[in-house]
Amino acid sequence: MNKKVLLIEDDIQMQKLIVEYLKDYNLDCTAVSHPKETLKILKEKNFSIIILDLMLPKMDGFDLFKQIKKICNTPIVISSARADIGNKIHGFELGADDYLAKPYEPRELVLRIEYILKKIFNNIHKISDFTIDKINKEVYLEDYPIDLTKIEYEIFLFLCENLNKVSSRQQIINATSLNEDTKNRTIDMHISNIRQKIGDDSKFPKYIKSIWGIGYKLVG
Protein backbone atom coordinates (compact mmCIF):
# COMPACT_ATOMS: atom_id res chain seq x y z
CA MET A 1 0.00 0.00 0.00
CA ASN A 2 1.54 3.27 -1.14
CA LYS A 3 2.05 6.17 1.19
CA LYS A 4 0.29 9.27 -0.13
CA VAL A 5 2.18 12.58 -0.29
CA LEU A 6 0.71 16.00 -1.04
CA LEU A 7 3.32 18.36 -2.52
CA ILE A 8 2.41 22.06 -2.40
CA GLU A 9 4.89 23.72 -4.76
CA ASP A 10 4.37 26.36 -7.45
CA ASP A 11 7.63 25.62 -9.29
CA ILE A 12 6.38 23.23 -11.99
CA GLN A 13 9.84 21.87 -12.81
CA MET A 14 10.49 21.07 -9.18
CA GLN A 15 7.03 19.50 -8.96
CA LYS A 16 7.81 17.09 -11.78
CA LEU A 17 11.23 16.24 -10.37
CA ILE A 18 9.93 15.42 -6.90
CA VAL A 19 6.84 13.52 -8.08
CA GLU A 20 8.93 11.29 -10.33
CA TYR A 21 11.64 10.79 -7.71
CA LEU A 22 9.20 9.80 -4.97
CA LYS A 23 7.67 7.14 -7.21
CA ASP A 24 10.92 5.18 -6.95
CA TYR A 25 10.41 4.95 -3.19
CA ASN A 26 6.78 3.81 -3.29
CA LEU A 27 5.56 7.30 -2.41
CA ASP A 28 2.41 8.29 -4.31
CA CYS A 29 2.79 12.05 -4.74
CA THR A 30 0.04 14.49 -5.76
CA ALA A 31 1.27 18.00 -6.63
CA VAL A 32 -0.67 21.26 -6.37
CA SER A 33 0.45 24.82 -7.04
CA HIS A 34 -2.12 27.09 -5.44
CA PRO A 35 -3.38 27.49 -1.83
CA LYS A 36 -7.03 27.40 -2.96
CA GLU A 37 -6.40 24.12 -4.78
CA THR A 38 -4.65 22.79 -1.68
CA LEU A 39 -7.56 23.45 0.66
CA LYS A 40 -10.03 21.93 -1.79
CA ILE A 41 -8.15 18.65 -2.20
CA LEU A 42 -7.55 18.29 1.54
CA LYS A 43 -11.29 18.45 2.16
CA GLU A 44 -11.80 15.62 -0.32
CA LYS A 45 -8.83 13.29 0.17
CA ASN A 46 -6.54 11.93 2.86
CA PHE A 47 -2.76 12.09 2.71
CA SER A 48 0.02 10.53 4.76
CA ILE A 49 2.21 13.64 4.76
CA ILE A 50 2.31 17.16 3.29
CA ILE A 51 5.34 18.95 1.79
CA LEU A 52 4.70 22.70 1.92
CA ASP A 53 6.57 25.46 0.11
CA LEU A 54 6.27 28.85 1.81
CA MET A 55 6.48 31.10 -1.25
CA LEU A 56 3.13 30.60 -2.95
CA PRO A 57 0.76 32.76 -5.03
CA LYS A 58 -2.03 34.68 -3.24
CA MET A 59 -1.18 33.37 0.26
CA ASP A 60 1.91 33.13 2.43
CA GLY A 61 2.91 29.56 3.24
CA PHE A 62 2.60 30.11 6.99
CA ASP A 63 -0.98 31.34 6.56
CA LEU A 64 -1.74 28.29 4.43
CA PHE A 65 -0.16 26.11 7.14
CA LYS A 66 -2.71 27.44 9.65
CA GLN A 67 -5.59 26.80 7.25
CA ILE A 68 -4.41 23.23 6.66
CA LYS A 69 -4.30 22.52 10.39
CA LYS A 70 -7.96 23.54 10.64
CA ILE A 71 -8.80 20.78 8.15
CA CYS A 72 -6.54 17.91 9.17
CA ASN A 73 -3.71 16.79 11.46
CA THR A 74 -1.55 15.40 8.65
CA PRO A 75 2.23 15.79 9.30
CA ILE A 76 3.74 18.77 7.46
CA VAL A 77 7.30 19.23 6.23
CA ILE A 78 8.08 22.83 5.29
CA SER A 79 10.25 23.05 2.18
CA SER A 80 11.51 26.58 1.53
CA ALA A 81 14.32 28.83 0.38
CA ARG A 82 13.48 30.95 3.45
CA ALA A 83 16.14 29.18 5.46
CA ASP A 84 16.89 31.76 8.16
CA ILE A 85 16.51 30.74 11.79
CA GLY A 86 13.52 33.05 12.35
CA ASN A 87 11.42 31.29 9.72
CA LYS A 88 12.48 27.87 10.99
CA ILE A 89 11.52 28.72 14.56
CA HIS A 90 8.17 30.11 13.40
CA GLY A 91 7.50 26.95 11.40
CA PHE A 92 8.18 24.69 14.36
CA GLU A 93 6.12 26.93 16.65
CA LEU A 94 3.16 26.42 14.30
CA GLY A 95 3.61 22.66 14.52
CA ALA A 96 5.79 21.71 11.54
CA ASP A 97 7.20 18.20 11.75
CA ASP A 98 10.35 19.20 9.85
CA TYR A 99 11.87 22.15 7.97
CA LEU A 100 13.91 21.43 4.86
CA ALA A 101 15.87 24.33 3.39
CA LYS A 102 16.13 24.66 -0.39
CA PRO A 103 18.07 23.61 -2.34
CA TYR A 104 18.18 20.03 -1.16
CA GLU A 105 18.80 16.57 -2.57
CA PRO A 106 15.55 14.66 -3.26
CA ARG A 107 16.98 11.68 -1.40
CA GLU A 108 17.13 13.78 1.77
CA LEU A 109 13.43 14.58 1.37
CA VAL A 110 12.64 10.87 1.06
CA LEU A 111 14.60 10.05 4.21
CA ARG A 112 12.84 12.75 6.19
CA ILE A 113 9.42 11.59 4.96
CA GLU A 114 10.17 8.00 5.89
CA TYR A 115 11.51 8.99 9.31
CA ILE A 116 8.45 11.11 10.15
CA LEU A 117 5.96 8.46 9.06
CA LYS A 118 7.78 5.77 11.00
CA LYS A 119 8.00 8.00 14.06
CA ILE A 120 4.42 9.28 14.09
CA PHE A 121 2.40 6.29 12.98
CA ASN A 122 2.15 2.72 14.12
CA ASN A 123 1.28 1.82 10.56
CA ILE A 124 -1.13 -1.10 10.82
CA HIS A 125 -3.70 -1.71 13.56
CA LYS A 126 -5.85 -4.82 14.00
CA ILE A 127 -9.13 -3.99 15.75
CA SER A 128 -11.90 -6.56 15.89
CA ASP A 129 -12.23 -7.94 12.32
CA PHE A 130 -10.77 -4.76 10.84
CA THR A 131 -7.30 -3.73 9.73
CA ILE A 132 -6.63 0.02 9.80
CA ASP A 133 -3.77 1.54 7.86
CA LYS A 134 -3.29 4.91 9.58
CA ILE A 135 -0.63 6.07 7.12
CA ASN A 136 -2.87 5.74 4.09
CA LYS A 137 -6.10 6.15 6.08
CA GLU A 138 -7.56 2.93 4.74
CA VAL A 139 -9.79 0.31 6.37
CA TYR A 140 -10.01 -3.38 5.53
CA LEU A 141 -12.56 -5.93 6.72
CA GLU A 142 -10.93 -9.37 6.65
CA ASP A 143 -8.54 -8.12 3.91
CA TYR A 144 -11.30 -6.55 1.80
CA PRO A 145 -10.96 -2.75 1.39
CA ILE A 146 -13.83 -0.60 2.69
CA ASP A 147 -14.41 2.52 0.61
CA LEU A 148 -14.98 5.15 3.31
CA THR A 149 -15.18 8.88 2.76
CA LYS A 150 -12.85 11.18 4.70
CA ILE A 151 -15.45 11.87 7.41
CA GLU A 152 -16.56 8.24 7.59
CA TYR A 153 -12.95 7.18 8.10
CA GLU A 154 -12.47 9.72 10.89
CA ILE A 155 -15.65 8.57 12.65
CA PHE A 156 -14.80 4.90 12.27
CA LEU A 157 -11.24 5.44 13.50
CA PHE A 158 -12.54 7.27 16.57
CA LEU A 159 -14.93 4.39 17.36
CA CYS A 160 -12.08 1.90 16.89
CA GLU A 161 -9.80 3.84 19.20
CA ASN A 162 -12.60 3.72 21.78
CA LEU A 163 -13.43 0.06 21.27
CA ASN A 164 -16.26 -1.17 23.53
CA LYS A 165 -16.74 2.33 24.92
CA VAL A 166 -19.84 4.43 24.34
CA SER A 167 -19.14 7.63 22.38
CA SER A 168 -21.68 10.43 22.30
CA ARG A 169 -22.49 12.21 19.07
CA GLN A 170 -20.84 15.35 20.43
CA GLN A 171 -17.64 13.43 21.21
CA ILE A 172 -17.63 12.15 17.63
CA ILE A 173 -18.08 15.69 16.30
CA ASN A 174 -15.26 17.00 18.51
CA ALA A 175 -12.89 14.21 17.44
CA THR A 176 -13.35 14.70 13.70
CA SER A 177 -13.18 17.51 11.17
CA LEU A 178 -16.97 17.98 11.25
CA ASN A 179 -18.22 21.49 12.01
CA GLU A 180 -19.06 22.18 15.63
CA ASP A 181 -22.66 22.94 14.67
CA THR A 182 -23.15 19.57 12.96
CA LYS A 183 -26.58 18.12 13.76
CA ASN A 184 -27.02 14.76 15.50
CA ARG A 185 -28.91 13.36 12.55
CA THR A 186 -25.85 14.04 10.35
CA ILE A 187 -23.83 11.72 12.60
CA ASP A 188 -26.60 9.13 12.36
CA MET A 189 -26.47 9.38 8.57
CA HIS A 190 -22.69 8.83 8.53
CA ILE A 191 -23.03 5.85 10.88
CA SER A 192 -25.73 4.39 8.61
CA ASN A 193 -23.42 4.75 5.60
CA ILE A 194 -20.54 3.09 7.46
CA ARG A 195 -22.79 0.21 8.50
CA GLN A 196 -23.86 -0.37 4.92
CA LYS A 197 -20.26 -0.43 3.73
CA ILE A 198 -19.13 -2.93 6.38
CA GLY A 199 -22.23 -5.09 5.95
CA ASP A 200 -23.58 -4.35 9.42
CA ASP A 201 -27.34 -4.84 9.88
CA SER A 202 -28.72 -1.78 11.66
CA LYS A 203 -31.44 -3.87 13.35
CA PHE A 204 -29.04 -6.57 14.54
CA PRO A 205 -25.60 -4.94 14.32
CA LYS A 206 -22.49 -7.02 14.83
CA TYR A 207 -20.01 -4.13 15.03
CA ILE A 208 -21.55 -0.69 15.61
CA LYS A 209 -24.13 -0.67 18.40
CA SER A 210 -26.59 2.18 18.97
CA ILE A 211 -26.83 3.27 22.59
CA TRP A 212 -30.24 4.90 22.92
CA GLY A 213 -30.13 8.53 23.97
CA ILE A 214 -26.31 8.64 24.01
CA GLY A 215 -24.52 7.58 20.84
CA TYR A 216 -22.61 4.62 19.48
CA LYS A 217 -19.90 2.11 20.27
CA LEU A 218 -17.85 -0.34 18.24
CA VAL A 219 -17.78 -3.80 19.80
CA GLY A 220 -15.21 -6.51 19.34
Give per-residue pLDDT as tens, 135-175. 778 899 987 899 999 999 999 999 999 999 999 999 999 99
CA distance 40 to 45: 9
Residue type, 209: K
> Is the backbone of residue 59 left (phi > 0), alpha (psi -120 to 50) or beta?
beta
Query: In this predicted model, which residue has the larger pLDDT, 142 or 208?
Result: 208
pTM: 0.59
Share of the chain above pLDDT 70, in %: 97
Q: Mean pLDDT for the chain?
A: 91
* Confidence class for position 127, pLDDT limits 50, 70, 90: confident
